[in-house]
Structure 1
Amino acid sequence: MNWWTTDDTHDPERTSWVDSAQGHCDFPVQNLPFGLFAPLGLEPRIGVAIGDMILDLRACARVGMVDPAVSGSLQETTLNQLLSLPGGQRRVLRHHISALLSDPAHRPALSDKLVRAADCVMHVPATIGDYTDFYAGIHHANNVGRQFRPDNPLLPNYKYVPIAYHGRASSIRASGVPVRRPMGQRKPPEADAPTFGPTERLDYELELGVWIGAGNELGTPIPIAQAGDHVAGFCLLNDWSARDFQAWEYQPLGPFLAKSFQSTISPWIVTAEAMAPFRIAQPLRPEGDPEPLSYLLDADDQRHGALAITLEALLLTRAMRDQGLAPMRLCQGPAANLYWTVQQMVAHHASNGCNLNPGDLLGTGTISAPTRDGLGSMVELTVGGKEPIHLPSGETRGFIEDGDEIVLRATAQAEGFVPIGLGECRAVVMEAK
């Protein structure tokens, strides 16, 4: 089967005997994302989200309730082995879990293997060997580039090369873990020399995370027509950025301390199989833009390579929490604003023979829109801090301050199918040490 093919697990009439799954905004029975969770006081284990509950897949595997071919991977303490399974085996496992949670006959055997998600701690689901952050949001690239190069915001290579840099895998944390304001060098334009201290221009970036499944051997590229077979699933990613450090350090080699201090991800891996109904055509490039080079061009990818996902970022300050105010939406927009498909990113990454491994994480880059309501970072929203935003609490923000919490959310929707979500990606900013 192709990675965009739907089956009966996507049937909008399918329901679950888990009551909270009905109409759940993120985790109806049509989703079934994998994650690494720990009931309070216990060690982490692999589970699947269903409504407000988590099904303990390790417990299911230990009593023979899953296919022996995948049982071992469900008893690991990370999802790497599960991610490495061929798409066909993951699809069989998905069908089995869907049947277990749909047929009320399984309720007696599974009730003691369900735990409330609110009573669990979520962990980064896989051991991330490598993390690569792309720059595929063309509107973000235009908006930021315009602040530095008003007449030429995009560099000449942008529309030919899926631009990316290698990030820091060790500092990726799951949703809910606070982020510490980083220390580093900055040099304002008017200063003669740099200074060292806490960033004054802390920013968020609204991105999708892409989990790699089956890898490739070193020296063996991944053809664009096969790139989708190497994508295991998706999450939300906030690639926190210290804009003042970045402006000073990025030349000539790109981001370093401005990005490496922490990135936050939503803890659930929404599988490529779950995302099949929400595959859409990649938007046509504007007239005059070059066609992708042949190693990045595939007809099926152009027909099915984009994602019908709506993303949003929200801000909740300490004062807003004290006043009982709801988070304020900063932006909302479609993932289809990406200039390159996920499959093009994978194919380009491996085109020089670079080996990708199960559990590697790719970031798409900040997903922004051409209009203000879809700008996916503070540096865009406030034009580099020059036009602060006004909050319901009476506060203003040019960049993110201590005590602020950024919340990312996303929903995949398509006519004739039940919407699914990616779960929340949130973190509170703590003061610098």
Structure 2
Amino acid sequence: MPEQSPLDLPEGDPFGPHNLPYGVFSLPGDTHRRVGVRLGSHVLDAGAAAHALGSPYASLLATETLNPLLAAGPQTWSDVRRALTAWVTVPSHQDVVRPLFHSLADVTLHLPFEVADYVDFYASEHHATNLGRLFRPDSEPLLPNWKHLPVGYHGRAGTVVVSGTEVVRPSGQRKAPSATEPSFGASAKLDIEAEVGFVVGAPSPLGSTVPLSSFRDHVFGLCLLNDWSARDIQPWEYVPLGPFVAKSFATSVSAWITPLEALDHARVAPPARDVPVLPYLDDSGEDEPGGYDLRLTVTLNGEVISEPPFAGMYWTGAQMLSHMTVGGASLRTGDLYGSGTISGTETHQRGSLIELTWNGTEPLELPGGKRTFLEDGDEITMTAWAPGPDGSRVGLGEVTGRIAATRTAN
């Protein structure tokens, strides 16, 4: 039986021509990195295809990172996407592009873009409420500012890693509520945060602001993101300036960036807001809904532990971007900002272990035994899909990380 062509996809494949996410890959025995576009279980060498077909976009695609394409802006993003769609669907192109596909099983995937700055938000009302109840049981769970602005913090761009990268258990200062002094050691409460990442393409000048209406002029696409967190280090260090060592050791992102255009059918209105916001965050008059209907699944060692719904996020990606730049901060190509943990109203929709186990007091019952926080050797995988055209699904690239033991100092 002849080998099936990579252009012949099974019906309903979430990585069909309606999706076409971008990544960067290398071939066995070759250190040269190439921009690729995923189709089913294969990746197209986009630069080689552009060259073979005489495309004017060859210089953007024959690179080792997505940054040149990201910087080109929304008109070019649309033009390139339209060309790629034709290359994989128009019969006259098939003989040219077919040999330029490679099986995903045979390639190495890399961080698809050079991360400029990294910001993480806290945009789920359900997550923020759960943590407020855990950390401040005698107070209102939401702090006074939470419904007036998207709360966030600046992270470390240099520790953003691609899916599949080993995550080393961090060490730091910890202080139990009953202790009089802090101690130092490996985190015993290593956690996950199921998030969506927004990848910025077109930059903005220092001193300017980006209004809600310009979201699609600057954001290229979305990816899944896991902001690993050390919950026993975090409470001692985060007062008064926020997370630091507890979140700076690793942030995992998918190897695939899904263009915003591929998610047009997944756009939904955000939840109703019961507190008026200032004009620069007011999206009530926007032409397009700002939310995205993304359905996430989180597994621990292959067992499903959570299914967080992104459609319920209180703050949208456009609002996060607007608030991030309202003081005049410039955007740079390759900026990444995360949504913060995605949690829903139901227990099985909580996007972190601290919520799922209520800070370790209600362990998960899994086939391997009761579990609270992550143990060495554990593997977390996040997947997601969104509604696509004509009842199809748009798959988002998975993000996986395995926990490795703390490394002792030299």
Identify whether the pair has TM-score above 0.5, normalized to the shorter chain: yes
Q: How far does residue 365 in structure 1 lie from its aligned partner after superposition?
A: 0.2
- Cα-to-partner distance string for 1:123-182 (whole Å, 9 max, x where unaligned): 111110100000101111000110121231110000001101000111111111110101
What is the alpha-carbon distance in structure 2 between the residues aligned to residue 376 and residue 397 of structure 1? 15
The residue aligned with 2:12 is 23
Q: Are the aligned partners of 1:278 and 1:307 in contact in 2 as well (CA < 8 Å)?
A: yes
| Residue from 366, 369, 375 that aligns with 2:341 | 366
Residue 116 of structure 1 and its aligned partner are, at CA, apart by 0.5
The residue type paired with residue 46 of structure 2 is L
2:384 to 395, 410, 430: 410
2:140 aligned partner, one-letter code: N
Q: Does 1:295 align with 2:280?
A: yes
Q: 2:290 aligns with which of 299, 305, 310?
A: 305
The match for 1:97 among 84, 104, 109 is 84
Q: How far is the alpha carbon of 1:281 from its aligned partner?
A: 1.5
Partner of 2:50: 61
CA distance in 1, matches of 2:326, 2:28: 44
Deviation at 1:303, TM superposition (A): 4.5
Equivalent of 2:27, from 35, 39, 50?
39
Query: 1: distance between equivalents of 2:287 and 2:361?
Result: 39
Distance 1:344 1:301 in 2: 11
How far off is 1:298 after superposition? 3.0
Alignment partner, residue 68 of structure 2: 81
Aligned: 1:281 with 2:269: yes
User: Mean Cα displacement is larger for which, 145-154 or 337-346?
Assistant: 145-154
Per the TM alignment, residue 229 of structure 1 is displaced from its structure 2 partner at its CA by 1.6
Alignment correspondent of 1:382: 357
Name the structure 2 match of 1:223.
211
Alpha-carbon distance in 2 for matches of 1:274, 1:46: 18
Q: How many residues align?
A: 401
Q: CA RMSD in A?
A: 1.5
Which among 301, 309, 331 is matched to residue 306 of structure 2?
A: 331
Q: 1:290 to 1:352 in 2, by over 3 A?
A: same
1:294-349 deviation per Cα after TM superposition (whole angstroms, max 9, x unaligned)? 01113454741110111121100xxxxxxxxxx11111132112111100111111
Report if aligned partners of 2:115, 2:335 keep a CA contact under 8 Å in 1: yes
2:58 is aligned to: 71
Matching residue of 1:357: 332
Which of 252, 269, 276 in structure 2 is aligned with 1:264?
Answer: 252
Q: SS of the counterpart of 1:127? A: coil
Matched, 1:164 2:152: yes
Answer whether contact 2:295 2:307 (CA < 8 A) is retained: yes
Q: Secondary structure at the match of 1:357?
A: coil
Residue type at the aligned position of 2:147 = K
Deviations 1:178-231 (A, max 9, x none): 101011111111112111111000000000000011111000111122123211
SS of the equivalent of 1:416 reads helix
The CA distance in 2 between the partners of 1:165 and 1:119, in whole Å, is 38
The residue type equivalent to 1:59 in the other structure is A
Distance 2:121 2:10 in 1: 34
Matches within 5 A, 1:185-204: 185-204=173-192
Deviation at 1:362, TM superposition (A): 0.5
Tell me the distance in 2 between the aligned counterparts of 1:365 and 1:301.
Answer: 23
In the alignment, structure 1 residue 178 sits paired with structure 2 residue 178? no
- With the length of structure 2 as denominator, give the TM-score of the two structures: 0.95
Instruction: Tell me, in whole angstroms, the C-alpha distance in 2 between the residues paired with 1:415 and 1:97.
Output: 18
How far, CA to CA, are the matches of 2:10 and 2:75 in structure 1? 26
> Shift of residue 20 of structure 1?
3.3
Query: Could you say what secondary structure the match of 2:307 adopts?
Result: strand
1:235-264 deviation line (CA, Å, top 9, x unaligned): 000000000000110001111110000011
Runs of at least 5 residues in structure 2 that lack an aligned partner in the other structure: none
Q: Are the aligned partners of 2:296 and 2:309 in contact in 1 as well (CA < 8 Å)?
A: yes
Could you tell me how far apart the structure 2 residues matched to 1:341 and 1:45 are? 32
* In 2: Cα distance, 1:415 partner to 1:79 partner: 26
Equivalent residue in structure 2 for 1:421, among 385, 395, 399: 395
Aligned-residue offset at 1:105: 2.2
Taking the aligned partners of 2:47 and 2:215, their CA distance within structure 1 comes to 30
SS at structure 1 position matched to 2:225: strand
Q: Is the 8 A contact 1:211 1:361 kept in 2?
A: yes
| Matching of residue 232 in structure 1 with residue 206 in structure 2 | no
1:111 to 1:34, Cα distance in 2 relative to 1, 3 A: same
Q: Structure 1, residues 42-90: CA drift from partner, whole Å, max 9, x if none? A: 2211010000110001212333442x1x321112211111011221211
Give 2:100's aligned amino acid: K
**Pairing partner for 1:49 from 35, 38, 56:** 38
Q: Is the 8 A contact 2:263 2:388 kept in 1?
A: no
Cα distance in 1 for partners of 2:262, 2:376 equals 37
Cα distance in 2 for residues equivalent to 1:110 and 1:390: 48
Q: Given residue 385 of structure 1, which amino acid in structure 2 is its aligned partner?
A: G
Amino acid at match of 1:199: S
Report percent identity of matched pairs: 42
Q: Distance in 2 between matches of 1:110 and 1:378?
A: 44
Asked whether 1:126 is paired with 2:121, we answer no
Q: In the aligned structure 2, how far is the partner of 1:57 from the partner of 1:417?
A: 28
